[in-house]
Structure 1
Amino acid sequence: MTNDMQTVPERLVAFLPNLRRFAISLCRSRELADDLVQAACERAILAAGSFAPDSRFDAWMFRILRNLWIDHLRRQKTAGPHDDIDEARDVSVPSGEAAAHARMDLAEVMAALQKLPEEQREVLVLVCVEEFSYRDAADVLSIPIGTVMSRLARARKNLMELTGISFGERRSPDMKGGVL
């Protein structure tokens, strides 16, 4: 069965890792991310009839998840403590030395990523991790494409300053992301 012929629940199963990764980048808690993903899946299944088959499924799902996150933030203005992703110890790498370096690198990048303003972090994850075009990211976030480009440039600059790592070159607005 091709993607165009798959039902929303079938597409959801294949898309769960991407959805969870985006949720974690938004809320910085695996447990809360899992709750957001579950709620997004429930909402998508209930609204499956409103999904236009000729539109992007990933953009539709990211928008549902982001709206749930915004709703959660509004409800939790006085939120209590939550688990930090930097406490995770389940990074899997072949050797002990490589694992230690991978954990240190991951911790450094995650710490820098979490220091970014939310609007920069959202754009960075959509364009550089999820490989959305600038135009598609603008659609998901309901902002102009120039704002996506501006936020991404600031996010890259801020990450470079925080980590000392160069995060790639400029891209045209219609190109896919993928390069930090």
Structure 2
Amino acid sequence: MRRYALSLTRHPSDAEDLVHDTVLRAYERRSAFRAGSALRPWLMSILHNTWVDGVRSRRSERERINRAFEVMEDHEPGRQDMSLRLSEVRRAFLSLPDEQRAALHLVMIEDLSYQETADILAVTIGTVMSRIARAREKLRLIDEAGPAAGKLRLVRDSQ
């Protein structure tokens, strides 16, 4: 059994594991052995089937892992890059003048309308629109000058 296991696995330690698994399966299924039949072919068939099951199991596991990596690559950006990018966006946002940052925050983050923002800031809607336009332009300039790979996209439906 060891010679056959070694020819299948090509590694002595894997062959030993295969023989061990074969003996264990044979013992667990000893009631399936027909009295009077040859023991060696029965054990060799168990060994072969155990090896085939292992190969299929490993192949299936590799395929599942590869699919998981493909899905992660398609949908999960690198966390370090995302953290760096978020830090850059935060720095750029905090560098805006207070009145521009307030207007942009209320519209883009709090999802308020231009009119609601104007009411909160006690300014006209035109002033809100002007502050947001200037804030976006400043952020674009900062982004174009920065080393980041991705570009900021600050777009919101006009209200």
Class of the TM-score when normalised by the shorter of the 2 chains: 0.3 to 0.5
Give TM-score, length-normalised by structure 1: 0.40
Give TM-score, length-normalised by structure 2: 0.45
Identify the structure with bigger relative contact order (alpha carbons < 8 Å, sequence gap 6+): 1
Which structure has the greater CA radius of gyration? 2
Which structure shows the higher helix fraction? Answer: 2
